[in-house]
Amino acid sequence: MKAAAGKVAQLLVVMFLVSLGTFSLTSLMPGDPAVAILGDNQSPEAYAELRDKLGLNEPLVERYFTWLGHVFQGDLGTSMVPPNEDVTSLIGSAFAVSIELAVLALVVALVVSIPLAMISARRPDGLLDRAASATTFGIMSVPSFVSGLVLIALLVNQLHLFPRVGWVGVTDGLGQNLYHAALPVITIALLEIPTFTRVLRGDLVRTLQEDFVLSARAKGMPAWRIMIFDAFRPSSYSLITVLGLSLAQLIGSTVIVETLFSLPGMGRLVVSSASQGNITVIQGAVLVIAACYVLINAGVDLMYSVIDPRIRRVGA
């Protein structure tokens, strides 16, 4: 219980520091939000009136705690740019798109990476291992916008299998949602497959040399059973770490893919808000993305204790 309480307290401190850093950095961004919103041709009085309306004349500390109080109530403010939409709604819509893309892409990457890593690890430096290594290295060398353009040229322009742009929400039909998400998901998954494969393959090779695996082989257990039921679980720690970091990163860093396929995700929201000087949206979006990093890393720690009960006993 003490260990759990300590982890919760640590999580709260980290979240507080994240919110403080987010607000401070966005508030200290160069440029005047009033000028960004009204343009360059307004009178000084108009700029002063808008700054006062937005509370920009208040001390930074006072503005932070006012903003933090609203955050605790689920209110991230109002967009500074017309039509002055609710920031929470804007981020909620964009976050739903980004998290779906990230989760689907990671699922696709795992479905490909796990069997590929097992095949490679079964005979290290064999023909299949070298072929898989060369393939993953080649995929890793291709930027996401290049792979996206290749997929568009092949699957959209030539074969007409998928739509070029656009997004359909889950509420408008799961089939259409997955149909429109397919190409972006494949594009993102191609970035993750090489990393997942290499990480898991390396850990599997080391695990397969452990005494308990050699003992299982001596007992005549099938190689596939040893790989799946004995070697995979203790070899998955690094994969889980990379998986958690990838999920947190993808939520806010898929701006290239979102732009390429015209998707209304978090990346495009942050970039467009930054170009407009829309500080309230930037603050809310960066806070949500940073909070995801913290919470997902905490979730990864919990996953360790699920996979290996010894970790749970040590932390108790």
Query: How many angstroms separate the CA atoms of 101 and 250, rounded?
Result: 8
CATH superfamily placement of domain 87-314: MetI-like (1.10.3720.10)
Quick check: 2 pLDDT over 70? no
The predicted pLDDT at position 5 comes to 67
Query: How many angstroms separate the CA atoms of 113 and 133, rounded?
Result: 12
The predicted pLDDT at position 115 comes to 93
Query: How many angstroms separate the CA atoms of 198 and 175, rounded?
Result: 33
pTM as predicted:
0.82
What percentage of residues in the chain have a pLDDT greater than 90? Answer: 20
- For the stretch 52-110, pLDDT in tens is 877 777 888 888 888 888 888 888 888 877 777 888 999 999 999 999 999 999 999 99
Q: Which are the contacts of 80, defined by CB distance < 8 A and separation ≥ 6? A: 33, 36, 37, 54, 276, 277, 278, 279, 280, 281
Mean pLDDT of 1-19: 74
Domain boundaries of the chain, sorted by first residue: 15-72, 87-314
In this structure, of 21-30, 93-102, 207-216, the range with the lowest mean pLDDT score is 21-30
What mean pLDDT value characterizes the chain?
Answer: 84
Count Cβ neighbours within 10 Å for each residue of 1-29 and write b for 16 or more, e otherwise: eeeeeeeeeeeeebeeebbeebbeebbee
Query: How many angstroms separate the CA atoms of 14 and 119, rounded?
Result: 41
- Counting DSSP H helices and E strands in the chain, the numbers are 15, 0
The predicted pLDDT at position 308 comes to 61
φ, ψ of residue 78 to 5 degrees: the values are -120, 140
The predicted pLDDT at position 314 comes to 46
The predicted pLDDT at position 236 comes to 86
- For the stretch 111-161, pLDDT in tens is 999 999 999 988 888 898 899 889 888 888 888 888 888 999 999 888 888
Mean pLDDT of 225-230: 85
Quick check: 3 pLDDT over 70? no
Q: How confident is the model at residue 230 (pLDDT cuts 50, 70, 90)?
A: confident
DSSP 260-291: HTT---HHHHHHHHHHHT-HHHHHHHHHHHHH
Q: How confident is the model at residue 309 (pLDDT cuts 50, 70, 90)?
A: low
- For the stretch 177-210, pLDDT in tens is 999 999 999 999 998 999 999 999 999 999 888 8
Give the chain's radius of gyration (CA, Å): 24
Mean pLDDT of 10-23: 83
Quick check: 311 pLDDT over 70? no
Quick check: 291 pLDDT over 50? yes
